[in-house]
Amino acid sequence: MKRLRWLALAAAMGFASACVTSGGRQAAQDRPVTTVQVDNQALYDMTVYVIRSGQRIRLGLATGLSKTRFTIPQGILFGLTSLRFVADPVGGRSTPVSEEIMVQEGEEVVLRIPAQ
């Protein structure tokens, strides 16, 4: 009898955790995608980072003389969020940092890196 109770309890816990997990995934999928379009007018390729509250997260590589679009990770934004962007040139010296801007989920930010 004890064995049957443990099996029933284990099955109930597995069902409850499956509901929580699938609900969490559904909520994450419903959130709007936020992007940054990098217009790199410089010759150097740039490694692009987003900074929120001192936390720096790599978005990817923006090739020189081209436009590249990156998705900002959903865990970065909570409503209206203050962000900065860093463009670190591959093989270059200076590292441009953007002004602090307010970004909301679903927006597209345009980051223009001028020719040097």
Show the domain range for 21. Answer: 1-30
Give the model confidence (pLDDT) of 21-32 as tens digits.
444 454 556 789
Largest CA distance in the chain: 78
Among 20-24, 34-38, 77-81, 92-96, the minimum mean pLDDT is found in: 20-24
The identity of residue 18, as a single letter, is A
Q: Is the pLDDT of residue 14 over 90?
A: no
- Give pLDDT, residue 27: 53
How far from the centroid of its chain's Cα atoms is residue 61's Cα? 14
> CB-side exposure of 64: number of CA atoms within 13 Å?
11
Same domain, 2 and 14: yes
Is residue 111 a contact partner of residue 86, using CB atoms and an 8 Å limit?
A: no
> Are 47 and 103 within one domain?
yes
41 in the same domain as 24: no
Q: What is the pTM of this model?
A: 0.73
- Average pLDDT in the chain: 81
Domain count for the chain: 2
The answer, yes or no, to whether residue 83 has pLDDT greater than 80, is yes
Return the minimum-mean-pLDDT range out of 19-23, 62-66, 75-79. 19-23
Tell me, yes or no, whether 21 and 66 share the same domain: no
